Every structure is written in structure tokens, then in C-alpha cells.
Structure 1
Amino acid sequence: MTSLSLREKDKQVLGQVVEGYLRQGKPVSSDLITQTGFLRDSPATIRNIMVKLEEMGYLLKPHTSAGRIPTDKGLRFYVNSLLDSIRTTGEVRNYARDLTQGRGDFNSLLNRVSLLLAEQSDNLGFVISPRISKIPINHLRFIKVAEDKVMVILLTTFNLVLNEIVRTSQYFTQNELDEASQFLTANYRGRNLVFVRADLLRELPRYKKRYEAVAGRLAELLRSYFFQEDQTDQIFFQGTSKLLDQASEFSLEKLKVLFRDFEEKAKLARLISDFISLDRVKVLIGSEVNLPDVADCTLILSHYGSSNQVLGSLGIIGPKRIPYRRIIPLVDGIAQGLTRAISESH
């Protein structure tokens, strides 16, 4: 059966069970729902509806209790109803506005955002930094910082400055790097570095007439950077202590594995990046994440960037029993605030 089989009364009872469980962390009984006064039906009528919802897979009855708790399917139905009508509160808009007033470099901004997410959600907050190779360039500069290191400085088409140091086995003089910077800026404005490298390799015979000494090595430099980028996705996170405060919501062994993943930042960043979408907010509950290590968790994700370019993702990781009604607008509002901070501050 699908959610289309649920009557309005079924949806109301399911919503009451979910919200009661999220508040108290205990099975919710028909008597408790009656006491809230939200529904005027008798406990017997509500109990019959709960039995139906259990048979349909939305609720689960622990064997030691007369009440019921929501399954992942029940939580999903509840969360979908919230996602249909996201409203960013005035309080969240204030948090987002504060981001545009801060000072410091881009990484400092992302670190502040992860801290804000953690403090306001009481869960772990994270922000994944952009992949420079995927961002359209307006201006590009290469600077030699050592025999085997080149700094890539990129001005995006929306005036954000990003930089990264690349290790390379190729030897360049600074004059060669200056020529390459000028050539790529003049010929590839509005394209990203992935396109640049592919085009360089495709057109290498033609470019060799003028840039024979540097074109092939430049393509190899970009390949080295892409490999480095794949291995070192940068993720900023704050609030691991917030999860420790909720240790009762997790099995101890799974919590240990989860914290080990936090230490392996690149692995965690790749996991989260797989779920980036153009939805304003995406919520993944328990088994939906499809990883045993985080089966007790919920991920609430959003993305930030410019009006036509997704740069990265942000959000919170917490137990399945979190106040979705409050945290979904929080993540959405902070994502919008970071997007605004990028466009207004750079």
C-alpha cells in the first residue's frame, strides 16, 4: 500500500504519534493522543487506526509497550509533509543575515557556518567546501611556490576568490605559468578546469605550435590537481559533543564508527556529496542512507552557491529522533544565508 491509501484521519493520527515520539522518545499510546485534545475520537477509534498504520508499515509496536513508535517509513511520510511547505522563520533569517557581516577568508566563513548549524540544531553541523575544478572561471592565475608545488588562484564568474596548492611532478618556470594563466583566462572564461583539461588534450597538436613547451605539462598539472581534489574533499564540521550528549539514541558501537568517519573527513565528504541535489532541503532517514554505519542517523542537507551554480552542501547529522519541524527550516535558511553571503561579500 502507498500513502494514497491513507485517509485524512489516518494522517492526523500518524502525525500525532510521530510528534509525540519526537518529543518524548517513548512509544505513544491512543490514550496519550486523546489527552492532547487534537483529535476528538475515542481511544478505541484511535487504537484501531494505529493498528491499521502498523499493518501498513508506518508504525511499530515494541513488544513491551502498549504504545507505538514510527518506523523509517512513518518518519518519511511525516517529513515529506514538512518539506512541502518550508517556511524560514524570522529568527533563522537573522542568523543568515549575520553571515554577510562577518570578516575573514572563505574557509573561515564555512567554519562559522558549521558552528552555527551545530549550535542552533544541537547536532553535528557540517559544510563541504567547493570543488574548484567544477566552478566556471573568470580569471585564473598559477604561482610557483616550490619546485613541486603550484598555487592555483581562481576568480569565479560570481567574483569569489578560491585557491589551492597542487603538488606536481612537472617542472614550470614562473614565466611559463604566467603565459599559461593568460592563455587560459583569455580562451576559457566561463568554463571550468575539467573542460579546460579535456580541451587541451583534444587540441594539443594545434596548441603545440605556440605552447609546445608547456601545454602537455599543464594538462598533467590539472590531472594531478583533480586526483588531489578527489582524495582531499574538505569538510568543516562542529558539534561532535552534541552527538555524545545524545548517546542514548545510538548504539555505542555505531557511534564509535560514526566518529571514526568524522576523523576521515574525505570519506565523510564523499558520502555526503553523493546526496547533493537541487532540492531546497533533502532529508535522509536511517536506512535511506544505505550505510550500516549511519543507520541510526538522520541527515538533513541543503546546498549553497550562486544563482546558477551549486558550490557545495551543508547540513546536520543527528539521531532519527530530532525536531524536524524546527531543523528543516534552519538548514534551509542558513543555506540561503551562505549563498547570500558569498554573492554580497566577494
Structure 2
Amino acid sequence: MAQSRRMLVLRAVVEDYIRSQEPVGSTTLTRDHDLGVSSATVRNDMAALEDEGYLIQPHTSAGRIPTEKGYRYFVDRLATVMPLSEAQRRGINSFLSGSVNLQDTLQRAARLLAQITGQVAVVAAPSLSKSTLRHVEIVPVSITTLLAVVITDTGRVAQHILNIVDLPDMTTLAHLVNEINTQCAGVSLAQTADCVRQMESRSEYRSISALTEALARALDGMADDERAGELYMAGTSQLAHQHTVADLAPLFDALEEQVVLMKLMSSLSETTQSDGVGVAIGSETHTPGLLHASVVTSGYGRTSAGNAGNAGSPDADGHGGNDDYGNVDGDQTAATSEPVAFVGSIGPTHMDYVTTMAAVRAVARYLTAFLAHDEHHTND
């Protein structure tokens, strides 16, 4: 009993410190929380929690504050991520539904997440390596140049110049493009390259074999593109208003290292914890500039065929198929969605984890629904 009560005391300390950012004392805890025991008992529990590494006492005779271990216990015991309120869901929907294309949606998503949390928001565009083919076009630019335009399932448009000796027979080329679009739609770009090479060996395409090989190489290059494309970031100025510049210098350095940031958030979004949301606290980020920061992230992406019907884009009332916009069970949605990129929030270790985790998950699920909804695919 003492151990479980002690952990209730820890939870109360974390909640109070997140709210006030002032060291928490036993008298305050006893007054503000229904712990059912005396102030002296709470004081003993806090001393035990300090011995166990969950709390520290920054100054003599002052209250205590949570350690990294204390925050980790608190986050791990959040059995479910609280859904956002109806008003918040409607706000997300109305703010994001006005976007004109994928890039605009991701930029808006970053701004919105920063606004909800008061922290730095990071939203990655889907990488080509995780995309599948939606459509390909080959357009003549000059006598010796063709432009291959590849549109993916995530709405990204990639262009590649194909240099040739002279213009191919346009009827044969049109036939090739139609066959690629028919046979390869929905498969990865690497598989599409293999498919093009198989076509190249057929007699009907022998006259344009140099072109088909150049196209296959271009698709291979796109498939190897591990970069998540653009990284949309917002909220750094809001964070600067809350802290002194000296405190933030290491954090801003870390934010400049976009490759490091993307690796961290990408791996964290793929090994998520509570309800599809991953949390790294302080040293868990393995990033020097983030030693006093926490990162909350969630993957977003394509939904499997079995769940595609549930992933409809949210309607005007904020309801669609996924958990924060409808009634699909959170674990089910997470299990049937394959991430193609991530959305995340970076803030101090004393961030409001409950609100941040809920907001990150809600925005991630909106983006998953956005990608799943064909009518939203706009060339950008």
C-alpha cells in the first residue's frame, strides 16, 4: 500500500511542478490532493522517492522537483492518451482543412501544433523511399531531353531529367507509360524500377531500351532517397519568450542539426509507446542539445486496406474515421497504419505531457486521414 501511495505522491508532484514550475512541498500536496494521509507521511514518501531517484531537492528546506526518472514513470503510467475535446478537434479540422496541398497542410500542422503546446513543432514530409507510385508521366522537353514526373501516394511530386540521343517513337512511349501506370500503381518505387526493367527486355520496347533503362535508374535513385524531404518547423520564438537565451542555446543548436533531429524523431515514431505516441526525456534523446528537453512524436502515414474505409478525412464536425475524429479504437488504428513520416513536439522536460501527447497524436491522425483521402491529393 505504501508503495502505491508513494507513486500517487510522485504523480501529484509531477502534475504540480508541470503546472507551477516551482518546487513542490508536502504541505501543498496535502492541501491540493486527496492523498488521505498526513503532511508528515507525504514528507516521508517524498524523501523515499528522492532516495529512489524519482525526485530531487534543488535547495535545502525547499520542495522537490521530478527527475528524468520521475517524468519517465509518470509518462509510462499514462495508460491512454486523453482525447482532445470536441472544440479542439473541430479547431484542428477547420484550421487544416483550408490547405491547398500537402506542403501547405504540413506547414499548417506545424504552426497549429506549436500554437496548442507553446513548444517547438516539427513535421516531416514523407520520404520517397517510403512512398508508392500513384502516377508517372514522361514529357518531351527538347529533342534530347525528356522529363519524368513521378507522383506518389503521399502527394509528393518528383521530377527527373532523362537525357537521350533522340526523341523516341511517341506511340511506343505512350504505351510504356500506360503499362507502367496500370501495372505499378500502388507499389514501391524500387519495385516500379524492377517492373520497368522487365518491360525493357520485351521486343515491343527494344527501340526505346535506353530510355526505359534511364527511367529505371531514376526510379532507383528516388527509392534510395532516405531524406524525409522538407522538415517543417514552428514555435521557436514562443519557446524563446519563456526562457533565457543562454538556457536555449544548446536546444537551438540541436534544432539546427536537422539530420540528427530527423533520425531521432523518425526512430522514436517507429518505436512508439502509449497509443502510438513516443516520448524521449532528456538523456534518452542521446542528443547533447536536448539534455534538458523532451521529445514527443508520432508517425503518420498510409492506412492499410482493411482500415482505409475508417480513415476518411474529418468532416466539418471534426469526425472522421480515426480515433481523435471518430470511434475507431486507438490501438487498432495505430496497428493498421504504416508511418511514412512523423510529427513531433520538443519542449522542456517539465512540459505538459498530457496535452502534448494528445495534440501530437491528433495532428498525426489528421495527416494520416489526409493522405488516405484521394480527393485531397493535389499536385504540389
The two structures have a TM-score, normalised by structure 1, of 0.83
> Is residue 237 of structure 2 the alignment partner of residue 241 of structure 1?
yes
Per the TM alignment, residue 167 of structure 1 is displaced from its structure 2 partner at its CA by 6.1
Q: Is the 8 A contact 1:166 1:225 kept in 2?
A: no
**CA separation in 2, counterparts of 1:122 and 1:62?**
26
Q: Of 318, 337, 342, which aligns to 1:313?
A: 342
Question: Which residue of structure 2 lines up, in the alignment, with residue 323 of structure 1?
Answer: 352
Contact 1:88 1:333 in 2 (8 A): yes
Deviations 1:276-331 (A, max 9, x none): 22652111111111111212111111222232242321121111111112222122
Opposite residue 210 of structure 1, the aligned amino acid is Y
Q: How far apart are the structure 1 equivalents of 2:346 and 2:47?
A: 31
Contact 2:184–2:192 under 8 Å retained in 1: yes
Q: 1:58 to 1:39 in 2, by over 3 A?
A: same
8 Å contact from structure 2 (residues 120, 234) kept in 1: yes
State whether residues 30 and 67 of structure 1, in contact with CA within 8 Å, keep that contact through their aligned partners in structure 2: yes
> 1:222 — aligned with what?
219
Percent sequence identity over aligned pairs: 27
Which stretch shows the higher mean deviation, 13-22 or 85-94? 85-94
Tell me the secondary structure at the aligned position of residue 276 of structure 1.
Answer: helix
Deviation at 1:63, TM superposition (A): 4.4
Residue type of the partner of 1:163? Answer: V
> Aligned partners of 2:250 and 2:235: how far apart in 1?
17
Count of aligned pairs: 334
- Cα pair distance change 1:341/1:232, threshold 3 Å: closer
Q: Which shifted more, 179-188 or 106-115?
A: 179-188
1:193 is aligned, of 189, 192, 195, to 189
Which digits, 9 at most, give the CA deviation of each residue in 1:87-142, with x for residues without a partner? 23212211232156314121111111111111111111121111233223343234
Q: Tell me whether 1:116 sits opposite 2:112 in the alignment.
A: yes
Superposed CA RMSD in Å reads 3.1
Q: Tell me the distance in 2 between the aligned counterparts of 1:270 and 1:172.
A: 43
Question: Which of 162, 166, 173 is matched with 2:156 structurally?
Answer: 162
The letter for the 2-side match of 1:243 is L
Q: Deviations over 1:48-68 (max 9, x none)?
A: 111221222211222445322
Partner SS, residue 213 of structure 1: helix
**5+ residue gaps in structure 1?**
none
Aligned runs of 1:63-74 on 2, under 5 Å? 63-74=59-70
Assess if the C-alpha contact under 8 Å between 2:96 and 2:105 holds in 1.
no
Q: State the partner residue of 1:41.
A: 37
Q: Which amino acid aligns with 1:162?
A: R
Q: 1:290 to 1:322 in 2, by over 3 A?
A: same
Tell me how far 1:214 sits from its aligned partner. 2.7
Counterpart in 1 of 2:266? 273
Query: Does residue 205 of structure 2 align to residue 210 of structure 1?
Result: yes
Q: Distance in 2 between matches of 1:92 and 1:99?
A: 10
TM-score in terms of structure 2 length: 0.76
> Distance in 2 between the 1:142 and 1:312 partners?
28
Say whether 1:251 aligns with 2:247. Answer: yes
Higher mean C-alpha displacement, 330-339 vs 294-303: 330-339
CA–CA distance in structure 2, aligned partners of residues 105 and 12 of structure 1:
46
- Separation in structure 1 between the aligned mates of residue 359 and residue 347 of structure 2, nearest angstrom: 14
Contact 1:235 1:266 in 2 (8 A): no
**2:200/2:213 contact within 8 Å kept:** no
**What is the deviation of 1:82?**
2.2
User: How far, CA to CA, are the matches of 1:149 and 1:48 in structure 2?
Assistant: 76
Specify the alignment match of 2:101 in structure 1. Answer: 105
Q: 1:150 to 1:177 in 2, by over 3 A?
A: farther
The offset of 1:15, in angstroms, is: 0.6
What secondary structure sits across from 2:186 in the alignment? coil
Give ranges in structure 2 of 5+ residues lacking alignment: 305-337
